């Protein structure tokens, strides 16, 4: 069962611009995580935000969480070519002993 759904499915922006991707989920969660995956590689953990937090920063990343709307957003500021990757949200639903990944947003940074 898919819990998180990312939007958009694909995004192309110019280098230096900001990239925003969104994640919606269906049931109450303990936390939400964002991961990055370069083509043909494993995922890398970026940031975790707990259900009692509204915003979190890490370097050029900003994550927000709106539990009333059951949604999260990931903002990458001043994008670089190296940010080209797929980005996944993963949710830890209350009462469910596992995390569920969405289908991801494919981000392409144009030079």
Partner 1 sequence: DGGITQSPKYLFRKEGQNVTLSCEQNLNHDAMYWYRQDPGQGLRLIYYSQIVNDFQKGDIAEGYSVSREKKESFPLTVTSAQKNPTAFYLCASSTDRKHEKLFFGSGTQLSVL
Name the site residues for partner 1 (rule: CB under 8 A).
Answer: 1-2, 30-31, 33, 35, 40-45, 48, 88, 90, 92, 97-104
Peptide bond into 87 cis (omega under 30): no
Shortest Å, Cβ 75 to partner 1 = 20
How near is the Cβ of 10 to partner 1 at its closest, in Å?
10
E-assigned strand segments in 1-111: 5-7, 10-14, 19-24, 29-37, 43-50, 55-58, 61-66, 71-76, 85-93, 99-101, 105-110
Between 4 and 76, name the residue whose CB sits nearer to partner 1.
4
CA max distance for the chain:
44
Q: Which is nearer to partner 1, 69 or 98 (CB)?
A: 98
What is the closest distance, in whole angstroms, from the C-beta atom of residue 16 to partner 1 in the complex?
A: 27
Rounded Cα distance, 65 and 68, in Å: 9
Nearer to partner 1, 15 or 37 (CB): 37
């Amino acid at each position: 069962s898919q819990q998180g759904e990312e939007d958009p499915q694909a995004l192309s922006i110019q280098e230096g611009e900001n990239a925003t991707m969104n994640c919606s989920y269906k049931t109450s969660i303990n936390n939400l995580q964002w991961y990055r995956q370069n083509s043909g590689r494993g995922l890398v953990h970026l940031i975790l935000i707990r259900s009692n937090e509204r915003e979190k920063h890490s370097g050029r990343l900003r994550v927000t969480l709106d539990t009333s709307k059951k949604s999260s957003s990931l903002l990458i500021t001043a994008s670089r070519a190296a940010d080209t990757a797929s980005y996944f949200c993963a949710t830890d639903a209350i009462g469910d002993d596992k995390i569920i990944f969405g289908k991801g947003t494919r981000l392409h940074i144009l030079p």
